[in-house]
Amino acid sequence: MLNHQNHKTPLTYEGTYLCPICRCGQIHNLTLMEAMGCDLCHHIFTINLEKQILKMVDREPSLTWRWTGNTWKGEHLGNLELSWIYWLIALSFVLFPPSLIALSGFIFPPVSGSAWSVFPLIWTTLSFLLHLLILLWLMAEAYQFPVILFFKTQFRRLFNLS
């Protein structure tokens, strides 16, 4: 009996695969071309048959994915193994500034009842969110995750535009 879970198919121009960008469209061969296109987000890809790699050609720097036989593995993620030291730096980057602000607000509390009494809380929250945003942006850049492309496609799909 065939085990469908482990059934692997090679990456060829004849096949149909789930789009690695929008993750809901299908990519298949473009007529008379050595290229694949997604029917939903319309991005163009080429295949390296030998290495079983899919390359997105309409974006610079281009993104690549390796076909494992049943799913995509982002090639651009390959050499970016985050060690715990990076996580520690990231965590302190997000937590240290707001805790400093919170601490100063705690040591020198504003006059209670005044309009400024919520200021330390707002400032702490804002600095936490901003540092978190910077971190997420850095991670998206490092991993080359197509954030904008992803949301653009999801948006289009939601409102049925094309």
Question: CA–CA separation, 124 vs 51, rounded Å?
Answer: 49
Angle between helices 119-143 and 84-107 (to 10 degrees): 170
Residue 21 makes contact with Zn ion by CB under 5 A = yes
Considering only residues 97 to 126 of the shown chain, the ones binding Zn ion according to CB under 5 A are: none
Residue 19 makes contact with Zn ion by CB under 5 A = yes
Options 12-20, 65-73, 106-114, 142-150: segment touching Zn ion (CB under 5 A): 12-20
By C-beta, is 22 or 54 nearer to Zn ion?
Answer: 22
Two tokens at 119? 């200021």
3-state DSSP: the chain helix, strand, coil percent, rounded to 5?
45, 15, 40
DSSP state at residue 77: G
By C-beta, is 11 or 38 nearer to Zn ion?
Answer: 38
What sections of the chain are H helices per DSSP?
Answer: 84-107, 119-143, 147-158
Structure-token match 């937590």, residue found: 95
By rule CB under 5 A, what string of x and - marks binding of each residue 71-100 to Zn ion?
Answer: ------------------------------
Options 22-30, 69-77, 106-114, 126-134: segment touching Zn ion (CB under 5 A): 22-30
CA dihedral sign, ordered 85, 91, 96, 99 = negative
By rule CB under 5 A, what string of x and - marks binding of each residue 27-46 to Zn ion?
Answer: -----------x-xx-----
CB of 22 to Zn ion, least distance (A): 3
DSSP state at residue 1: -
Residue 54 makes contact with Zn ion by CB under 5 A = no
Selected from 22, 47, 56, 63, the binder of Zn ion by CB under 5 A is 22
Q: Output Rg (C-alpha) for the chain, integer angstroms.
A: 23
Interface residue list for Zn ion (CB under 5 A): 19, 21-22, 25, 38, 40-41
